[in-house]
Amino acid sequence: MRDKNSETSSGNVFADIGITNPEEHLAKVKLAMQINLLIEERDLTQKEAAKLLGIDQPKISALHKGRLAGFSLERLFHFLNVLGQDINIKISPKARTRKKPNIVVVYNKAKRKPPLDDAKASRPTILARKKK
């Protein structure tokens, strides 16, 4: 049951709220999400990630929080390349059923590290000394 005051989303929140260039905003968000997953996957601190990507730590914080105004698509592509990712750009004619052209970002989700086996993690490591 739908509320009379609600409407169905277009699938892009930026378009729904009337932001200029909503496709670019959504693409930047998706790229930033992937960058953040890769940083997390590598267990990098913000300082380590900043050094790796050649930016300062506050910019990593902004990227992490989704504050993307200072980041171009090109810059986000560069960060992904530094993090070992290939970028493939596919250009195709606009579908006749759509009113406007769009930008689509498709990515393979970063693989998360498997959790530690609790039994192995709690076992103490014993170093044996060689007898002389």
Q: How far apart are CA 24 and CA 1, in angstroms?
A: 33
Cβ-count burial of 105 within 10 angstroms (0-12 exposed, 13-18 middle, 19+ buried)? middle
Asked whether residue 123 is domain-assigned, the answer is no
Asked whether residue 51 is domain-assigned, the answer is yes
Asked whether residue 2 is domain-assigned, the answer is no
Segments forming the whole domain that contains residue 20? 13-110
Asked whether residue 116 is domain-assigned, the answer is no
Domain harbouring 68, CATH code: 1.10.260.40
pLDDT at 131: 46
Q: How many domains does the chain have?
A: 1
Whose CA is closest to 53, among 72, 67, 39?
Answer: 39
Asked whether residue 83 is domain-assigned, the answer is yes
pLDDT at 42: 95
Q: How far apart are CA 42 and CA 14, in angstroms?
A: 30
Q: What is the chain's pLDDT, residue by residue, as a tens digit (132 residues)?
A: 566 787 788 788 888 888 888 889 999 999 999 999 999 999 999 999 999 999 999 999 999 999 999 999 999 999 999 999 998 888 888 777 777 766 777 766 655 544 444 444 433 433 444 444
Write down the residue that tokens 């698509």 correspond to: 73
Asked whether residue 82 is domain-assigned, the answer is yes
Global pTM value: 0.70
pLDDT at 58: 97
